């Protein structure tokens, strides 16, 4: 499949402007501090409008200079979220897709890097001949054109601006939305400012001053918010709402309290209780029904009252930063919901795991997952955990790197290929048994940004396999983000020794899924199913992995029951035996 060039393309401003006039715009900005939930506010507002029958899309404007987050470390930026059309984007796009049915594409994600890239390309082509290229109007025009482009086909477009008001890099974006608001008419646009109202324990009070300051900052650049979503640890009472309203020139009923909640999936319901969607549709003169929130209500009920708990170990190297495995974490939670189970997810540091301590470290886990990853650090620990899962019949789910390593572990320990490895570990000149090797088109690629195999590709599933039961289909489509692949040279040997390639991309002859038919649940996939799981539509692979883990839990409980009848020492050793 030929992909659209990832380099920023220029969008004709005037043409898109007239076309997009019928859309309503909701801008979401942030104040006081970052990480207060602008993305979740945008996504939740999107879900509420959708629940009222409004066709919504959401876009993110990121002020950093990188063209996209694809080359940023997960330590710095969190997860890189991949869209159907292969854009590497900010993790907020994951929230947008999980909370709404809007399909994200590369036009839903814009960065300063892309904007400047497009403007500079145009300048080199000579499109501005004779003119001086400036932030206003050239850069701001390009930003507006992107917003109009993303808005096509929707009634409402929610535009989230990354960072916090006052950030130097974000200035052109704020200026662009100031212009855009007057272009589309103030009656067709809303500015929702998400702010933080800190609780000062010494005074025993919530403080509104930082919110006042950030609104002042907005006003200085010509932007007046219509709504304030105030994030706080404690409830915000009416008196404080009135005070904030007065100081910030916002209607008191447009001051929305967003108190910390137990799960992110409560946010749409909480914002609805505060009247956010009611007032937004009124302010935008949208004629809608009352929202149907039954799905969200059921979800929250299950999350708060699970029938059982199951333990999953995720073995990776970004254990301190849950943001790095955002979609994966959420997809596991969804799989739990589908089984009415709460998941205790433990992130196990692969750098600390060895073949010797794996049994001990993972003995409590009812399921083991090795997620996507890059580089050699922590690989031995991941291989040890896969070996443990394979040998001890613990459900195993390998994703991308977790699939490649499952193949290497199998080659080394079952097929007897002791030096089995991946091209990623040995480099271009590396020799030996490269069970995982370059994809053909990757051999000549030198640029790092946007050059992996990215986005959705089809996969054919073998009849009678475990994954056929999972998907209940023989042709699926999943999203990818990788440079290396399973080396078909080893396929026949693997199948003879008991690892089946049950999913293949026929068009390219690439192995996409391997499984062990003689194991309770050992499935490893080259793609990233976590990007397509939604709380109201859990991905079947996660649902079935959790189900298999619950089964494992039952087996262990059975052993414990039987051994409990025996004498203390004997019972303990029998339990250990079952686990280790």
Residue numbers annotated as active site: 400, 528, 530
How far apart are CB 352 and ligand GLN at their closest, in Å? 20
| Closer residue to ligand GLN, CB minimum distance, 75 or 374 | 374
Find tokens 């986005």 and name the residue. 455
Q: Please identify which residue in the block is written with the tokens 């159907």.
A: 84
Q: How far are the Cα atoms of 40, 326, 347 from residue 321, in angstroms, in the given order?
A: 18, 9, 9
Residue 457 binding ligand GLN, by CB under 6 A: no
From first CA to last CA, the distance across the chain in angstroms is 46
Q: Is 39 in the site for ligand GLN (CB under 6 A)?
A: no
Distance of closest approach, residue 6 Cβ to ligand GLN, in angstroms:
17
* Nearest distance from C-beta of residue 325 to ligand GLN, angstroms: 11
Q: Is 75 in the site for ligand GLN (CB under 6 A)?
A: no
Number of residues that bind ligand GLN (CB under 6 A): 11
Pick the closer one to ligand GLN by CB: 32 or 420: 420
Q: What is the largest CA-CA distance in the chain?
A: 92
Question: Which positions from 343 through 372 interact with ligand GLN, judged by CB under 6 A?
Answer: 372
> In the bound complex, what is the minimum distance in angstroms from residue 238's beta carbon to ligand GLN?
49
Residue 194 makes CB contacts below 8 A (sequence gap 6+) with 28, 29, 30, 31, 36, 37, 38, 41, 228, 229, 231, 258
> Minimum Å distance from CB 373 to ligand GLN?
5
User: Chain centroid to CA 497: how far?
Assistant: 36
CB 196 within 8 A of CB 259: no
Among 424, 437, 515, 530, binds ligand GLN (CB under 6 A): 424
Distance CA 164, CA 180 (A): 19
Dist. CA 329–CA 251, nearest whole Å: 38
Shortest Å distance, C-beta 401 to ligand GLN = 3
Residue 169 or residue 380: which is nearer to ligand GLN going by CB? Answer: 380
Cβ nearer to ligand GLN, comparing 42 with 436: 436
| Interaction of residue 207 with ligand GLN, rule CB under 6 A | no
The two beta strands, 396-399 and 522-525, are: parallel
CB 171 within 8 A of CB 206: no
Q: Using the minimum distance from each CB to ligand GLN, give the nearer residue, 267 or 400.
A: 400
Which residues in 395-414 contact ligand GLN (CB under 6 A)? Answer: 400-401, 404
- Closer to ligand GLN at the Cβ: 177 or 454? 454
Residue 263 vs 376, nearer CB to ligand GLN: 376
Our CB check for ligand GLN shows the closer of 134 and 376 to be: 376
Instruction: For the CB of residue 512, give the shortest distance to ligand GLN in the complex, in Å.
Output: 12
Output the 3-class SS for 503-564: EEECCCCEEEEEECCCCCCEEEECCCHHHHCECCECCHHHHHHHHHHHHHHHHHHHHHHHHH
Nearby residues of 509 by Cβ (< 8 Å), 6 or more positions away: 488
**Min CB(240)–ligand GLN separation in Å:** 46
Phi, psi of 193 (to 5 degrees): -105, 120
Binding of ligand GLN by 443 (CB under 6 A): no
Site for ligand GLN in 476-505 (CB under 6 A): 481-484
Q: Kindly give, in sequence order, each residue whose CB lies less than 8 Å from that of residue 446, ignoring residues fewer than 6 positions away.
A: none
Q: How far is CA 509 from CA 301, 466, 528, in A?
A: 44, 21, 18
For residue 229, the cross-strand partners are 194, 256
Structure token pair of residue 203: 């005074």
Could you list the residues that contact ligand GLN (CB under 6 A)?
A: 372-374, 400-401, 404, 424, 481-484
């Amino acid at each position: 499949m030929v992909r659209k060039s990832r380099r920023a393309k220029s969008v004709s401003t005037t043409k898109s402007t007239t076309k997009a006039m019928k859309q309503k715009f909701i801008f979401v900005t942030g104040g006081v501090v970052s990480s207060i939930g602008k993305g979740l506010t945008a996504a939740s507002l999107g879900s509420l409008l959708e629940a009222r029958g409004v066709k919504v899309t959401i876009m993110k404007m990121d002020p950093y200079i990188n063209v996209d987050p694809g080359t940023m470390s997960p330590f710095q930026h969190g997860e890189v979220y991949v869209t159907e059309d292969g854009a590497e984007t900010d993790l907020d796009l994951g929230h947008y897709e999980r909370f709404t049915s809007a399909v994200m594409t590369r036009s839903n994600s814009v960065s300063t890097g892309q904007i400047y890239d497009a403007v500079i390309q145009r300048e080199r082509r000579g499109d501005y001949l004779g003119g001086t290229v400036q932030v206003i109007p050239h850069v701001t025009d390009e930003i507006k054109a992107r917003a109009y482009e993303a808005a096509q086909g929707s009634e409402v477009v929610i535009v989230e601006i990354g960072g916090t008001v006052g950030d130097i890099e974000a200035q052109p974006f704020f200026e662009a939305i100031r212009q855009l608001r007057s272009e589309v008419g103030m009656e067709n646009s809303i500015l929702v400012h998400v702010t933080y109202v800190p609780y000062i324990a010494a005074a025993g009070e919530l403080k509104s001053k930082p919110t006042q300051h950030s609104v002042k900052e907005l006003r200085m650049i010509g932007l007046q918010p219509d709504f304030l979503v105030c994030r706080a640890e404690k409830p915000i009472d009416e008196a404080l709402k009135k005070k904030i309203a007065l100081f910030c020139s916002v209607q008191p009923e447009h001051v929305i309290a967003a108190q910390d909640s137990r799960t992110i999936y409560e946010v749409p319901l909480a914002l609805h209780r505060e009247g956010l969607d009611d007032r937004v549709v009124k302010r935008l003169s949208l004629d809608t029904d009352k929202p149907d929130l039954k799905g969200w209500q059921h979800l929250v009920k299950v999350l708060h009252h699970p029938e059982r708990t199951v333990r999953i170990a995720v073995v990776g190297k970004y254990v301190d930063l849950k943001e790095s495995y955002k979609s994966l974490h959420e997809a596991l939670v969804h799989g739990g919901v589908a089984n009415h189970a709460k998941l205790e997810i433990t992130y196990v540091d692969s750098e600390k795991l060895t073949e010797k301590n794996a049994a001990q470290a993972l003995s409590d886990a009812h399921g083991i997952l090795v997620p996507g990853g890059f580089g050699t650090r922590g690989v031995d620990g991941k291989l040890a955990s896969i070996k443990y899962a394979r040998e001890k019949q613990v459900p195993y789910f390998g994703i991308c790197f977790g699939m490649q390593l499952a193949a290497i572990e199998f080659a080394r320990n079952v097929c007897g290929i002791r030096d089995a490895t991946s091209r990623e570990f040995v480099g271009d000149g590396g020799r030996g048994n490269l069970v995982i090797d370059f994809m053909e088109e990757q051999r000549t690629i030198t640029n790092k940004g946007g050059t992996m195999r990215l986005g959705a590709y089809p996969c054919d599933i073998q009849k009678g396999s475990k994954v056929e039961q999972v998907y209940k289909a023989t042709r699926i489509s999943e999203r990818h983000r990788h440079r290396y692949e399973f080396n078909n040279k080893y396929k026949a040997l693997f199948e003879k020794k008991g690892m089946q390639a049950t999913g293949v991309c026929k068009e390219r002859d690439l192995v996409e899924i391997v499984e062990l038919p003689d194991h309770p649940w050992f499935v490893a996939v080259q793609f990233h199913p976590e990007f397509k799981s939604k709380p109201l539509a859990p991905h079947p692979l996660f649902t079935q992995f959790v189900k298999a883990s619950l089964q494992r839990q039952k087996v262990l409980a059975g052993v414990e029951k039987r051994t409990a009848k025996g004498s203390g020492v004997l019972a303990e050793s029998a339990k250990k035996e079952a686990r280790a």
